[in-house]
Amino acid sequence: MDFLVILVELLKSALMGIIEGVTEWLPVSSTGHLILAQEFIRLDVFASNPMFEEMFNVVVQLGAIIAVIVLFFDKLNPFSKRKDSYLKSQTWSLWLRVIVAIIPAGVLGLLLDDWFEANFHNFIVVSIALVVYGILFIVIERLNKNRTMVYNTVYDIDMKTAIKIGCFQALSLVPGTSRSGSTILGASIIKVSRPAAAEFSFFLAIPVMLGASLYKGVKYLVRVGFPSLEELLVLLVGTVVAFVVSLVVIKFLMSFVQKHSFESFGWYRIALGIILIVYYIFRYVV
């Protein structure tokens, strides 16, 4: 019986990993999807240890991050023997802009993480953020039809523009906005092309999510201690599945944005936000 219980837990964890792998990179809010999913898919380890659930929701993103590193390793590697001095210099410059761009979200995250977790991690905030950002995606995409993009590759993004994108990324501290959604939306406003915006968003995620995972993991160890074997298995399965799914989703998104706008994601966000509001009303109010 214990084996069957653990197997069910691991299957649930795998499903959470699928949701994370899909929604982390698409501008649709992984938090909104996880909140909705966890209303129906409750892991026993979450019920018995709420702090593990909080840690799981962040650390499972490691799988998604590793997928970015694998797919873009050559572009991100300044030591590649296949690059001449100019390309290596470009790579170092790209990393510098990435590091500078993560400062706003990093500082605010360290200062306000617990406060945002306590006050904003709820149905109402997530639902409103989904709808508002969905409307913004539609409006901005339609405005951009008549605009000429200035930054068409990640190498075109200068330091000033990188900082602006980083400030937009800081808005993702509000659950439901989506980290990728905030960076892509902000980049689109300041005339960064869709492919460059998506790719730069991927690169920003590496230090941000590695840092967030380390922070949550250390905080868990300090407050609770080392996870149990069952908890470790749940975390491992979710992370591995998130990695595999992310490989597929990132390739899809980079191909999708070459020919299509983000407007469809805007409509999806609005629909999901409305679903969450309706569910909340019937679940907790009526």
Domain boundaries, the chain: 2-285
Report d(CA 50, CA 44) in Å as an integer.
10
For 96, phi and psi rounded to 5 degrees? -60, -45
Are the CB atoms for 182 and 172 separated by under 8 Å? yes
Are the CB atoms for 209 and 226 separated by under 8 Å? no
Residue 95 tokens read as: 């990393």
Side chain identity at 92, as an amino acid letter?
W
Please list the pLDDT of the chain residue by residue as tens digits (286 residues).
Answer: 476 777 888 888 899 899 989 988 889 888 778 777 877 777 777 777 777 777 787 888 888 899 999 999 999 999 988 888 999 999 999 999 999 999 988 888 778 877 877 777 778 888 899 999 999 999 999 998 888 889 999 999 999 999 999 999 888 888 888 888 899 999 999 999 999 999 999 999 898 888 878 888 888 888 878 888 888 888 899 999 999 999 999 999 989 988 888 999 999 999 999 988 888 888 777 6
Residue 138 tokens read as: 């539609």
For residue 86, the model assigns a pLDDT of 92
Report d(CA 271, CA 264) in Å as an integer.
11
For residue 1, the model assigns a pLDDT of 45
Alpha helices in 145-228 (DSSP H): 159-170, 179-189, 194-223
For residue 111, the model assigns a pLDDT of 82
Angle between helices 123-144 and 30-40 (to 10 degrees): 140
DSSP per residue, 17-78: HHHHHHHTTTTT-HHHHHHHHHHH---HHHHH-HHHHHHHHHHTHHHHHHHHHHHTHHHH-T
**pTM, full prediction:** 0.84
DSSP per residue, 104-152: HHHHHHHHHHHHHHHHT-SHHHHHHHHHHHHHHHHHHHHHHTTS--SB-
Report d(CA 33, CA 265) in Å as an integer.
14
Q: Which of 72, 144, 68, 127 is nearest to 280 (CA)?
A: 127
For residue 286, the model assigns a pLDDT of 67
Q: Which residues of 17-52 are buried (b: 16+ CB within 10 A; e: fewer)?
A: bbbbbbbbbbbbbbbbbbbbbbeeeebebbeebeeb
